[in-house]
C-alpha cells in the first residue's frame, strides 16, 4: 500500500501544476492510470484494489490537486462498461470518460416508471444495424450538457416487464432528441425531460445482450447507490465538469480551483445548515436555546447524526474491503433524508417569522430557506424512502417480498396508453 502512495506522490509532484488546462491535467491523470486507479490498465486505471485507489485519492487531496472527472458517466457508466461491455466498447469510451472528455446522463425514469423502473415504455425497434427509439424520459439530471446517455428501452413488449428491456449507450447530439429543462422550486433547473422521436442508436452500442438490459440497469443502480453512499470518493479538489459542453476543459485548473472554492463555500454553508451544531448556534442567536422543546429536538438530531456518521464509516469500510453495497447504504440514505427534513422544520421554527424571508434579507443569507427547498430531493433520488424501507424489510428483516402480480405477464398486456409531458 505504501508503495502505491509513494508512486502516486512522486507522479503528482512532477505532473500537477495550476497552469495546466483541465483537459491537460485530466488527460495526464488518465494516461498514467491515476484517474480511476481501480479501472483496468490502459483505460484510465491500474487495476488497483478499492483501498489502494482511496490512498491515491488521499495523495491528490493532500497535494491540493484537482480531482479526477466526476459525473454520472464516470460514477456509473465506466464501471458498467467494465463489467458488461465488449472490448470495442471499452476501447471507445473508457479512456474518454477517465480523461473527462465525455459527460453522460442517466436515461432511466419515465412519467410512468420511477420506483417501478421495469414499467418503462420508451421503445427501441431494430432496423438493420441500428435501433429506432421513440418515447420520453424525465428527471434526467444534466441532459443538456451530456454527450451520451445510459438508456434503458423496451425492445420486446411480448416478454414480461423485466425481460424485454435492452441497455444502450445513446448519442445525445442528434435530430431525434429534444431536451426540455424543468424548473425546480429552489430556482435551479438541473432536471430535464428528454423526448425521442425516431432517434437512432447503432446496434454496437447495446451493452450486454438484447432483451437482457435489466441486469445491466440493476448493476448501474448499485453503482449509483454506492456513489451516493460515498464509498467511491475520488479525492482531490472538485473543479469543473467533464465534457466539452460544460465549458471547463480549456480553462486553467488554478482558476477553476478558485471558482470552485467560492461555490463549494456556498454549498458547504448550505450543507452545514443541516447539522445539529449549526442549528444549536441558530437557537442561540434567536434566544431559543433554553426552550425545552427545541433542546429536545436538537438532541434527537444530534443522536441521529452520530448514528449516521458511524453507519457511513461502516459503508466505507465495506467498500474498502471490496464488498458491494449492503443494507447499510439503505439505512444511511434513510437517516440522511430524515435528518434533512428535521433540519428544515427545526431551523424555520427557530427563526420564527424570519423563516418566511428569502435571499439576502433572511438570516444568514437565507441558507436555511434554500436548504429547506432542496432537502426533499434526498428522500426521492436514488430510490425513495419507502423503497429503502422495502429493501431493509425484505433483505435484512426477512419479511415476505412484496406481491408482484404482473411479474410473469407479457408487458403488452400491462400497459396501454400515451406518454404525457410533466410540463403540462
Q: Which residues contact ligand FAD (rule: CB under 6 A)?
A: 105-106, 108-109, 114-115, 139-141, 377, 380-381, 384, 386-387, 390, 402
Give me the residue whose beta carbon is nearest to ligand FAD. Answer: 114
Positions marked active-site: 224
Residues 345 and 329: their CA atoms lie apart, in Å, by 25
Beta pairing partners, 170? 149
* Continuous segment of H or E residues that includes residue 127: strand 123-127
Provide the 3-class DSSP secondary structure of residue 160.
strand
Here the cell at position 325 is: 453495497
Nearest to 256 by CA among 26, 15, 10, 12: 26
Compare residues 115 and 261 and give the one whose CB is closer to ligand FAD. 115
> Hey, CA dihedral for 396, 402, 408, 414, is it positive or negative?
negative
Which cell numbers hold the place of 351?
427563526
Are the beta carbons of 180 and 193 closer than 8 angstroms? yes
Contact assessment for residue 77 and residue 243, using Cβ atoms and an 8 Å cutoff: no
Among left, alpha and beta (phi > 0; psi -120 to 50; other), residue 139 is left
Helix 253-272 crosses helix 22-32 at what angle (to 10 degrees)? Answer: 90
Residue of 220, 216, 218, 200 lying closest to 208 (CA atoms): 216
Query: How, if at all, do strands 104-107 and 148-154 pair?
Result: parallel
Say if residues 217 and 193 touch (Cβ distance below 8 Å): no
Amino acid at each position: 500500500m505504501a508503495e502505491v502512495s509513494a508512486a502516486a506522490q512522486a507522479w503528482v509532484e512532477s505532473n500537477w501544476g495550476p497552469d495546466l488546462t483541465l483537459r491537460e491535467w485530466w488527460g495526464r491523470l488518465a494516461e498514467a492510470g491515476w484517474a480511476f486507479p481501480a479501472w483496468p490498465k490502459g483505460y484510465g486505471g491500474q487495476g488497483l484494489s478499492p483501498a489502494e485507489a482511496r490512498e491515491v485519492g488521499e495523495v491528490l487531496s493532500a497535494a491540493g490537486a484537482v480531482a479526477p472527472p466526476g459525473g454520472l458517466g464516470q460514477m456509473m457508466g465506466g464501471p458498467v462498461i467494465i463489467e458488461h461491455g465488449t472490448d470495442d466498447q471499452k476501447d471507445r469510451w473508457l479512456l474518454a470518460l477517465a480523461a473527462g472528455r465525455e459527460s453522460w446522463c442517466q436515461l432511466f425514469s419515465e412519467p410512468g416508471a420511477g420506483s417501478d423502473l421495469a414499467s418503462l415504455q420508451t421503445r427501441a425497434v431494430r432496423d438493420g444495424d441500428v435501433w429506432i427509439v421513440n418515447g420520453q424520459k424525465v428527471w434526467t439530471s444534466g441532459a443538456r450538457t451530456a454527450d451520451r446517455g445510459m438508456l434503458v428501452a423496451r425492445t420486446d413488449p411480448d416478454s414480461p416487464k423485466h425481460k424485454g428491456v435492452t441497455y444502450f449507450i445513446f448519442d445525445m447530439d442528434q435530430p431525434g432528441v429534444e431536451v426540455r429543462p424543468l424548473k425546480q422550486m429552489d430556482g435551479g433547473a438541473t432536471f430535464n425531460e428528454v423526448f425521442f422521436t425516431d432517434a437512432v442508436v447503432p446496434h454496437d452500442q447495446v451493452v450486454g445482450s438484447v432483451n437482457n438490459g435489466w441486469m445491466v440497469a440493476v448493476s448501474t443502480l448499485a453503482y449509483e447507490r454506492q456513489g451516493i453512499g460515498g464509498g467511491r470518493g475520488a479525492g482531490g479538489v472538485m473543479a469543473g465538469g467533464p465534457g466539452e459542453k460544460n465549458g471547463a476543459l480549456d480553462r486553467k485548473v488554478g482558476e477553476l480551483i478558485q471558482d470552485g472554492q467560492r461555490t463549494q463555500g456556498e454549498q458547504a454553508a448550505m450543507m452545514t445548515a443541516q447539522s445539529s451544531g449549526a442549528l444549536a448556534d441558530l437557537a442561540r442567536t434567536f434566544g431559543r436555546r433554553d426552550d425545552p422543546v427545541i433542546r429536545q429536538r436538537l438532541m434527537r438530531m444530534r443522536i441521529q447524526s452520530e448514528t449516521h456518521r458511524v453507519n457511513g464509516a461502516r459503508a466505507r469500510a465495506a467498500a474498502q474491503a471490496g464488498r458491494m453495497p449492503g443494507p447499510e447504504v439503505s439505512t444511511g440514505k434513510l437517516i440522511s433524508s430524515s435528518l434533512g427534513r428535521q433540519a428544515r422544520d427545526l431551523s424555520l421554527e427557530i427563526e420564527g417569522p424570519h423563516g418566511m424571508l428569502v435571499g439576502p434579507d433572511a438570516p444568514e443569507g437565507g441558507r436555511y430557506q434554500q436548504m429547506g427547498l432542496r432537502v426533499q430531493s434526498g428522500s426521492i433520488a436514488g430510490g425513495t424512502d419507502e423503497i429503502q424501507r422495502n429493501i431493509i424489510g425484505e433483505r435484512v428483516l426477512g419479511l415476505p417480498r412484496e406481491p408482484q402480480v404482473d411479474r410473469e405477464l407479457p408487458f403488452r398486456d400491462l400497459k396501454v396508453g400515451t406518454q404525457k409531458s410533466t410540463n403540462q
